[in-house]
Amino acid sequence: MKLTDYAGRYETIRFEREAGVLEMTLHTRGGEALWGVTEQSLHAELGRAFADIAADPENKVVLLTGTGANFIAAMDTQARPPETNRADAWRRIYQEGVALLENLMAVPVPVIAAVNGPALIHAEVACLGDIVLAAEHAEFADLAHVPNGVVPGDGVQAVWLALLGPNRGRHFLLTGARIPASEAHRLGFVAEVLAAGELMDRARTLARGLAQNSLEMLRHTRTVLTRDLRRRLRDELELGLAVEALTILGQ
Provide the 3-class DSSP secondary structure of residue 23.
Answer: strand
Which residues have a Cβ under 8 Å from the Cβ of 167 and sit 6 or more positions away? none
Q: What angle do CA 96, 55, 215 make, to 5 degrees?
A: 130
Please give the DSSP secondary-structure letter assigned to residue 67.
Answer: B
Task: Report which residue type is found at 94.
Answer: Y
Strands 179-180 and 21-26: unpaired
Q: At what angle do helices 86-105 and 42-54 cross, to 10 degrees?
A: 30
Residue 226 buriedness (CB in 10 A; 0-12 / 13-18 / 19+): buried
State the DSSP H helix or E strand holding residue 184, giving kind and residue range, or none if neither: helix 181-187
The set of catalytic residues is 124
Which residues have a Cβ under 8 Å from the Cβ of 240 and sit 6 or more positions away? 151, 152, 153, 154, 155, 157, 158
Q: At what angle do helices 215-249 and 86-105 cross, to 10 degrees?
A: 160
- Residue 75 CA to residue 77 CA, distance in Å, equals 6
